[in-house]
């Protein structure tokens, strides 16, 4: 199913679209200052502090999540990637324990990827908490899910990029089997959780999403790139001999409004009453051998007043 993605703004006229990020909820001390008057403020998209949901917000060393006690999974996990947070101050380890899931073709899939948080040992260890892991098919975990994780890191290392903000989470969908439609929201609706199987007490997602927001050094925020991927797709496995990034972009790109509808989460808000400022948050920790380590994150963000 091929889709051509067009900007949300082509179908509706609005002023600024504000994307919610839980920046102030993150670990670390921060300082703020007025927005640099020499930088641009012409972006159609802006960042505003807030969470997509507040069911049970948990703050880790370098990511924030909302936990759902009914599914025993995170509703969303939010992380910021930049050249500082992607520093490699500790070694990668295969796992901190055995796979808890009964079916062998499922693995403990990370929402906040371990490779994104090697700037300090505690941040890396936090990614192996079971609350950050979901039952995920091996083919997806080792295939297009890993491809999109690598894509986010590549973007964050671009010299023109300040931060890449990433939301990841599960979806629980059922097929409505409508005819002559092409959009995911026409094929699927939210499933009754009791109809879905469980792995180690966790409800098994049918799909997964990523919302990727690129914040540039010139102050602009790009239109979010959003993806919905099924737990397994035979066509994707066959396509792996081709360019994996293009497979993801062509077959799995979605509108942010679609992900809001299918997840019940809220990622955007239009024209709230806000004050905008440049904020620098500094997170400190220890490297693998106990040495001091820190990550600096500068974000242009609006706060509701």
Classify residue 1: in a domain, yes or no. no
Q: What is the pLDDT of residue 7?
A: 47
Classify residue 11: in a domain, yes or no. no
Classify residue 7: in a domain, yes or no. no
Classify residue 194: in a domain, yes or no. yes
Q: Give residue 145's pLDDT band: very low, low, confident or very high (50, 70, 90).
A: very high
Reported pTM: 0.90
Q: Is the dihedral of CA 240, 237, 130, 64 positive or negative?
A: positive
**How far are the Cα atoms of 125, 208, 259 from residue 229, in angstroms, in the given order?**
26, 5, 11
Q: What is the domain range of residue 92?
A: 18-304
Classify residue 66: in a domain, yes or no. yes
pLDDT score of 143 more than 50? yes
Q: Is the dihedral of CA 50, 52, 57, 62 positive or negative?
A: negative
Classify residue 78: in a domain, yes or no. yes
Q: Which residues contact 131 (CB under 8 A, 6 or more apart)?
A: 58, 65, 67, 73, 74
Classify residue 13: in a domain, yes or no. no
| Half-sphere exposure of residue 263: CA atoms within 13 angstroms, side-chain side | 30
The whole-angstrom separation of Cα 132 and Cα 231 is 17
**How far are the Cα atoms of 17, 65, 84, 153, 240 from residue 117, in angstroms, in the given order?**
29, 15, 10, 11, 27
Q: Give residue 38's pLDDT band: very low, low, confident or very high (50, 70, 90).
A: confident
The whole-angstrom separation of Cα 140 and Cα 232 is 6
Query: Residue 98 maps to which CATH number?
Result: 3.40.570.10
Q: How many domains does the chain have?
A: 1
Classify residue 9: in a domain, yes or no. no
The whole-angstrom separation of Cα 247 and Cα 279 is 36
Helix, strand, or coil (residue 239) = helix
198-248 residue pLDDT tens: 999 999 999 999 999 999 999 999 999 999 998 866 566 555 555 777 778
């Amino acid at each position: 199913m091929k889709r051509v993605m067009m900007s949300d703004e082509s179908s509706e006229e609005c002023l600024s679209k504000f994307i919610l990020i839980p920046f102030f909820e993150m670990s670390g001390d921060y300082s703020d200052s007025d927005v640099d008057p020499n930088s641009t403020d012409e972006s159609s998209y802006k960042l505003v502090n807030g969470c997509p949901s507040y069911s049970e917000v948990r703050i880790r060393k370098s990511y924030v999540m909302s936990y759902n006690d009914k599914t025993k999974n995170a509703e969303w996990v939010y992380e910021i990637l930049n050249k500082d947070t992607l520093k490699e101050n500790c070694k990668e380890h295969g796992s901190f324990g055995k796979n808890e899931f009964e079916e062998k073709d499922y693995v403990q899939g990370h929402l906040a990827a371990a490779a994104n948080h090697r700037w300090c040992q505690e941040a890396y260890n936090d990614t192996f908490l079971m609350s950050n892991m979901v039952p995920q098919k091996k083919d997806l975990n080792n295939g297009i899910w890993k491809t999109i994780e690598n894509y986010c890191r590549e973007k964050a290392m671009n010299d023109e990029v300040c931060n890449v903000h990433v939301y990841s989470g599960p979806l629980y969908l059922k097929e409505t089997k409508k005819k002559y439609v092409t959009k995911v929201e026409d094929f699927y609706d939210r499933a009754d959780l009791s109809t879905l199987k469980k792995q180690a007490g966790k409800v098994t997602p049918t799909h997964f999403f990523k919302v990727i927001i690129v914040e540039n050094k010139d102050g602009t925020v790009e239109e979010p790139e959003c993806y919905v991927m099924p737990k397994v797709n035979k066509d994707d496995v066959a396509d792996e001999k081709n360019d994996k990034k293009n497979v993801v972009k062509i077959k799995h790109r979605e509108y942010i409004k679609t992900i809001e509808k299918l997840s019940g989460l809220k990622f955007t808000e239009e024209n709230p009453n806000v004050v905008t400022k440049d904020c620098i948050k500094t997170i400190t920790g220890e490297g693998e051998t106990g040495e001091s380590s820190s990550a600096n994150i500068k974000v242009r963000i609006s706060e509701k007043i």
